[in-house]
Amino acid sequence: MRKRQRSIITGVMAAAAVLLLTGTLSAQAPAQAKTKVVNKTVTYGQLTNKQPHRLAAIREAARQSILQTTKAKSSKVAAVYQVKLPTHMNKTAKLTKDGLRMPLLTNSFKLKHVTVPYSELKGKVLNRYLPKADKTSKVKTNKMVALTFDDGPDPTLTPRLLKTLKKNKAHATFFEVGQSVSRYPKITRAVLAGGNELGNHSWNHPDFNSIGTSNTASQVMRTNRAIYQATGTLPQYVRPPYGNITAAEGRKIQQPIIRWSVDSRDWSYLNTQKDINEVMKDTRGGDIVLMHDIHKQSVAAVPTIIKRLKAKGYKLVTVSQLLNYQALPGLQYFGAHDFRTAGK
């Protein structure tokens, strides 16, 4: 795995980056009120500025709301992906005081509509349709770093790491393996309870490129179910083992793909001081740092890494905070302003 993975964003991609990551309106978009109007019917094209990735994000949020509205058991996770959700920009929904009310076709959950809270749509629909509390604003990513930890939860090391994060008032994102989540659900819940976030890292860590699209989707679905069973919530993100994913798999998964820009290679060193040196040598503002919470040497390195990064003026945040809550399905993210189509 490369230590740093950077893409060269062309002029066209740069324009897309501004549009997708800042929510800036296109030159053709008409000026509208800065706040949403309650009980107003809107099209998905209006909500998303006709961007398919944003519409995919609305569908992702709707699945979460369907499960929580019906208090569904984990056995219904696969079924929620069978619910027909909007794919056409001219379809309509309604802005209500509680959220976006979306009409549904006949489905196994027996819902005629679902209301998605505005908090779940932050960064996914244009700011002018959201309450003030849920609007995104510019963030100084040059002063932010996202630490991420793969392959847990570990029954001993993950709790130790959570204590370190809490003591240092830092947060991180944990990409967990489904079979371990099923084994240690209490620890998975503790990750969220500490103000951190969870991501999907497959069921048993295969190379997606070697198992095919169908099996990849099954790996992701099975882990989504395990995380939902443990926490009552679906994970927003997927990180493919070894960072490998095809374009077809990226489309099939229907969740944002999170990669990294700094690879600590802690799995190869198994040496605390080398882990510290590697992270500190390469990390800059806006980076996503890859580590693992299944190696004691890696967990032992974290207190010093946090201390030194803070001394440089960096704030340790979750992936969602670093990406300003604007990660979208179908895209993969390497850092704060470094993204491309999944599989590319």
What are the structural domain ranges in the chain? Answer: 24-133, 141-341
Residue 76 confidence (pLDDT) above 90: yes
Q: What is the pLDDT of residue 31?
A: 38
Average pLDDT over residues 232-261: 97
What is the pLDDT at residue 38?
79
The predicted model gives 28-51 an average pLDDT of 75
Query: CA nearest 248: which of 214, 295, 220, 223?
Result: 214
With beta carbons less than 8 A apart as the criterion, state whether 22 and 138 touch: yes
The answer to whether 227 and 174 have CB atoms below 8 angstroms apart is: no
For residue 8, pLDDT over 90 is answered with no
Average pLDDT over residues 76-102: 98
The pLDDT confidence band at residue 308, using thresholds 50, 70 and 90, is: very high
The continuous run of DSSP H or E covering 308 comes out as helix 296-311
127-171: per-residue pLDDT in tens? 999 999 999 999 999 999 999 999 999 999 999 999 999 999 999
- Residue-averaged pLDDT of the chain: 91
Q: Which helix (H) or strand (E) holds 43?
A: strand 40-43
Residue 9 pLDDT greater than 70, yes or no: no
What was the pLDDT predicted at 344?
Answer: 85
Give yes or no for residue 68 having a pLDDT over 80.
yes
Rounded average pLDDT over 41-64: 98
pLDDT for the residue numbered 205 = 98
Q: What's the CATH code, domain 141-341? A: 3.20.20.370
Read off the pTM. Answer: 0.89
- Burial code (b: 16+ CB inside 10 Å, e: under 16) for 72-93 equals beeebbeebeebebbeebeeeb
For range 170-192, the mean pLDDT: 98
Statement: residue 294 has pLDDT above 80: yes
pLDDT bin (cut points 50, 70, 90) of residue 37 is low
pLDDT, position 36 = 56
Residue 238 pLDDT level (bands cut at 50, 70, 90): very high
The catalytic residue positions are 150, 292
